[in-house]
Amino acid sequence: MTAHTDHLAHPGGHDGHHDDDDGAAHGTFKSYMTGFVLAAILTAIPFWLVMDRVVEDSRTTALVILAFAVVQIVVHIVYFLHMDTKSENGWNMLALIFTLVLVVITLSGSIWIMYHLNSNMMPMSTHDMRKMP
């Protein structure tokens, strides 16, 4: 076989091993099971908090659930998506950080605008509304 047609006989490389295009490592059964168990626990605990009303204050419960959600996102990113600072020379992590920054800016800006619109609205009584055309 010539060097020109050798890649046709062994599409994964010259030694017959199939390499990934991006060089990223895939998870093992152990890492997938670890991710699954962590995800199940991180789902069961907030469910228990809500169903048994463990915390009386609903705001505190919501904050705890949001914290568990953030941890679960990290678990999914690490154990199932295999994203770390080494995957694709760090470009995946950079894209994730950029996306998170945009989401935080969008959400906080939207909440800020809605809060100020609500607090700066002129109060209207029913008497004032009758005078409107």
79-118 pLDDT, tens digit per residue, is: 998 888 787 888 888 888 999 999 999 999 998 998 888 7
Domain assignment of residue 127, yes or no: no
Q: List b or e across 13-31, with b for residues whose CB sees 16 or more CB atoms inside 10 angstroms.
A: eeeeeeeeeeeeeeeeeee
Mean model confidence pLDDT for the chain: 81
Domain assignment of residue 102, yes or no: yes
Domain assignment of residue 129, yes or no: no
Instruction: Please check whether residues 78 and 92 belong to one and the same domain.
Output: no
The 8-class DSSP code of residue 66 comes to H
pLDDT above 70 covers a percentage of the chain that reads: 74
Q: How many domains does the chain have?
A: 2
Instruction: Please check whether residues 55 and 104 belong to one and the same domain.
Output: no
